[in-house]
Chain A
Amino acid sequence: MTNAAGPSSGGGYLQISGLSKRFKQTAVLEDLTLDVDKGEFVSLLGPSGCGKTTLLRLVAGLLRADRGRVVIDGRDITALPAHKRSVSVVFQNYALFPHLTVAENVAFGPKMQRLPKADVVAAVKRFLGMVRLDQYGDRAVTALSGGQQQRVAVARALATRPTLLLLDEPFSALDRKLREEMEIELRHLLRELGITAIFVTHDQDEALVMSDRVAVMSAGRIEQFADPGTIYARPATPFALDFIGLATKLSGRVIGVDGGGVTVETAVGPIVAPGTCVNGARVLVAVRPEYVELAPAGAPEANHVSVVLTDVVFLGSRTLLHFAAQSGDRLVAEVGQPPEAGLVPGETLRLRWPVARTLVYPLP
């Protein structure tokens, strides 16, 4: 497994290569490489401690890397301190300046750039307008609601016309509905301005909804860097598989390899998956729940198993069916509507899923 996320068009707008950072003997980031295109919205997705915030701070210039380079638009900025980079950050708790009004907060960056007064005023007006807070210029930031503070933070970051915008879990303090609204609003704003952005989050839904591409991170390395659809349907590693969405996972041993795929012997029977593996190797096979269906008898080219239903979970637009095999393996299927004939936990049912949708991963 490589730790490189290659560019899609050869040499991106933002090029991070070989970035490494240690804190007191612990390697937080190890040889990290990432290429982002201009105008792209990329998420860094991963659990806490995976290094995503460290990576963000390195790109912002708030931390200095031990090794590696950061290049934006052809310019090597690795050695530049934060205040000389044209990289803006929206912080998790907004970090608004309580001793300044809303307008003064937004004006801070342009003032640092020593723009003429008229330009500063115009910039404040423009960006406050973009986040729909034009009338709030003279308010104290402490008098605003969470959502409004968040928008001020965005306006403040954009007012410097950065070449890159970084966001560190900016929506984590907002309630669900507000969060969804902000996600859409932010995407529109960034698309309109053509700003390249990197968004750090541990929330997979957020990442999948907002991003052009997602970098799934774990323990200082990028497990996979691809568009949301690919990440979901073809996760590159068991970690990526696990972190995003649900999946049925079965461990087994490869017993046969032929032109199209491999046959794996698992505790619930033989499973066929596309790809190649070493015969006899220990592997993990997996499948996403929406491809698993209750099977009528027959349909020979699919994978099928007989397992006991344990739970029916109704989620509104879909229902999840949880199963357990005698071996203890757990399986999960998703159906749009629960079948008219009610399902009783304890029943043994037959499940099937297409070979083409089966994933296989070598186990160490």
Chain B
Amino acid sequence: MDRAGVALSWIMMAVVLVFLLAPIVVVVGVSVSPSTVFDFPPDGVSPRWYQRIMQLDGFWAATRLSAEIAALATAASLVLGTLAAIAIVRGSFPGREALATFLTSPLMLPGLVVGIALARFFRDFGLRDAYLSLLFAHLVVTMPFIMRTVLASLALFDFAMIDAARTLGCSYPGALVRVLVPNIGPAFLSGGLFAFIMSFDNYAVSIFLTDVRTKTLPIQMLHYLGESPDPTLAAISTLLIALTVVVLLIGDRLVGLRRLASM
């Protein structure tokens, strides 16, 4: 590429980075500001908003619920998604590609619409339990992230190893566990980490499936924003950012950021 082009691309990269990181920096800054007004840059440093988190109504319950749902949905997606991915990569039945598109499509469809559709569907069929509804909904949310990474990884996997394991005395399911899983582990991890985060942060699909007693963290946060907006929200947000950073660090340790980035 010629010089001007290279310079342009680097300028753009810098602009993009500053732009993308701006709101995050602001939120962290506000969370340590001593004033009740959203002040950036902050006038001083004070931990008072972090202390207030403890007193917030329903915060821990919401956090725990979000984490549980995210973990369970991700785990279920991993199992179901991997089996489906094997069938798509190795099978020869018609409609494989359509199936792959179907399983990765929730990512591109409006979450709000999916949430509504699910809410009505579950209600029409008598499923009133908010927890179960959320679980199914988040299975839909997490599946595309798993499918993308697992499908890509399986395309590179040498299935002769499964045959080898079978001739050495391993049943087919046993071979999947002992040979396939260890070798596409990175795909599980990167897909799983993304899926977990996306589920944890998800708002649009969840809003219609929660009830008074069952609220996920994002919904709880918007509730706070509406009711009593003060920097406590920034403190919670900063904690979430910290959690994300930790998850990304773990992900990099285990599989490398480059793999994570090819979603």
Which A residues have a C-beta under 8 Å from some C-beta of B? 57, 60-62, 81-83, 85, 87-89, 91-93, 95-99, 108-109, 112-113, 156-157, 160
Report the count of interface residues on B (CB-CB < 8 A).
Answer: 17
Contact indicator per residue, chain B 136-180, by CB within 8 Å of chain A (1) or not (0): 000000000000000000000010110111111111101000010
Is A91's CB under 8 angstroms from B169's CB? no
Closest residue of chain A to B171, judged by CB?
A83
Let me know if B183 is at the binding interface, CB within 8 A: yes
For B179, list chain A residues within 8 Å (CB): 97, 99
Let me know if B44 is at the binding interface, CB within 8 A: no
Q: How far is B174's CA from A156's CA once the two chains are assembled, in angstroms?
A: 18
For A96, list chain B residues within 8 Å (CB): 161, 164
| The one of A82, A97, A160 that contacts B166, using a Cβ cutoff of 8 Å | A82
Q: How far is B170's CA from A95's CA once the two chains are assembled, in angstroms?
A: 15
Given contacts A62-B163, A95-B163, A88 and B158 within 8 Å (CB-CB):
no
With A83-B167, A95-B161 known, 15 other A-B pairs at CB within 8 A are A57-B163, A60-B167, A61-B167, A81-B166, A82-B166, A83-B166, A85-B167, A88-B168, A93-B160, A95-B158, A96-B164, A97-B179, A108-B170, A113-B169, A160-B168
| The one of B161, B163, B169, B183 that contacts A109, using a Cβ cutoff of 8 Å | B169
For A81, list chain B residues within 8 Å (CB): 166, 171-172
Is B170's CB under 8 angstroms from A89's CB? no
Q: How far is B170's CA from A160's CA once the two chains are assembled, in angstroms?
A: 12
CB distance from A154 to the nearest CB of B (A): 12
19 A-B contacts, Cβ less than 8 Å apart? A61-B167, A62-B167, A83-B169, A83-B171, A91-B160, A91-B163, A91-B164, A92-B160, A93-B158, A93-B160, A95-B158, A95-B163, A96-B161, A96-B164, A99-B182, A108-B165, A156-B164, A156-B168, A157-B167
For A91, list chain B residues within 8 Å (CB): 160, 163-164
For B160, list chain A residues within 8 Å (CB): 91-93, 95
Q: How far is B179's CA from A264's CA once the two chains are assembled, in angstroms?
A: 62
Q: How far is B168's CA from A87's CA once the two chains are assembled, in angstroms?
A: 8
Closest residue of chain B to A112, judged by CB?
B169
Q: How far is B167's CA from A93's CA once the two chains are assembled, in angstroms?
A: 15
Q: How far is B183's CA from A60's CA once the two chains are assembled, in angstroms?
A: 24
For A88, list chain B residues within 8 Å (CB): 167-168
> What are the 10 A-B residue pairs with the smallest beta carbon separation, nearest first?
A112-B169, A95-B160, A109-B168, A95-B164, A99-B182, A82-B166, A89-B167, A95-B161, A91-B160, A83-B169
For A61, list chain B residues within 8 Å (CB): 166-167
For B174, list chain A residues within 8 Å (CB): 83
Is B167's CB under 8 angstroms from A82's CB? yes
For B158, list chain A residues within 8 Å (CB): 93, 95
Which DSSP category, helix, strand, loop or mixed, fits chain B's interface? helix
Is A98's CB under 8 angstroms from B183's CB? yes
For A157, list chain B residues within 8 Å (CB): 167-168
Closest residue of chain A to B182, judged by CB?
A99
Counted as pairs of residues, one from A and one from B, with CB atoms less than 8 Å apart, the total is 66
CB distance from B182 to the nearest CB of A (A): 4
Q: How far is B165's CA from A88's CA once the two chains are assembled, in angstroms?
A: 10
Contact indicator per residue, chain B 12-41, by CB within 8 Å of chain A (1) or not (0): 000000000000000000000000000000
Is B183's CB under 8 angstroms from A99's CB? yes
Q: How far is B253's CA from A45's CA once the two chains are assembled, in angstroms?
A: 49
| The one of B164, B171, B172 that contacts A89, using a Cβ cutoff of 8 Å | B164
For A95, list chain B residues within 8 Å (CB): 158, 160-161, 163-164
CB distance from A336 to the nearest CB of B (A): 45
For A87, list chain B residues within 8 Å (CB): 167
Specify which of A81, A91, A92, A113 lies most central, judged by the most chain B CB atoms within 10 Å of its CB. A91
Closest residue of chain B to A82, judged by CB?
B166
Closest residue of chain B to A108, judged by CB?
B168
Closest residue of chain A to B183, judged by CB?
A99
CB distance from B180 to the nearest CB of A (A): 10
For B170, list chain A residues within 8 Å (CB): 83, 108, 112
CB distance from A32 to the nearest CB of B (A): 21
For B171, list chain A residues within 8 Å (CB): 81, 83
Specify which of A92, A112, A160 lies most central, judged by the most chain B CB atoms within 10 Å of its CB. A112
For A93, list chain B residues within 8 Å (CB): 158, 160
For A83, list chain B residues within 8 Å (CB): 166-172, 174
Q: How far is B133's CA from A84's CA once the two chains are assembled, in angstroms?
A: 43
Specify which of B160, B168, B174, B182 lies most central, judged by the most chain A CB atoms within 10 Å of its CB. B168
For A57, list chain B residues within 8 Å (CB): 163
Q: How far is B167's CA from A113's CA once the two chains are assembled, in angstroms?
A: 12
Q: How far is B165's CA from A62's CA once the two chains are assembled, in angstroms?
A: 11
CB distance from A131 to the nearest CB of B (A): 16
For B164, list chain A residues within 8 Å (CB): 89, 91, 95-97, 156
Q: How far is B160's CA from A95's CA once the two chains are assembled, in angstroms?
A: 6
Q: How far is B166's CA from A262's CA once the two chains are assembled, in angstroms?
A: 54
For B165, list chain A residues within 8 Å (CB): 97, 108
CB distance from A83 to the nearest CB of B (A): 5
Q: How far is B165's CA from A99's CA once the two chains are assembled, in angstroms?
A: 13
For A99, list chain B residues within 8 Å (CB): 179, 182-183
Q: How far is B170's CA from A108's CA once the two chains are assembled, in angstroms?
A: 9
Specify which of B167, B169, B174, B183 lies most central, judged by the most chain A CB atoms within 10 Å of its CB. B167
For B166, list chain A residues within 8 Å (CB): 61-62, 81-83
For A82, list chain B residues within 8 Å (CB): 163, 166-167
CB distance from B116 to the nearest CB of A (A): 44
For B161, list chain A residues within 8 Å (CB): 95-97
| The one of B163, B169, B182 that contacts A160, using a Cβ cutoff of 8 Å | B169
Closest residue of chain A to B163, judged by CB?
A62
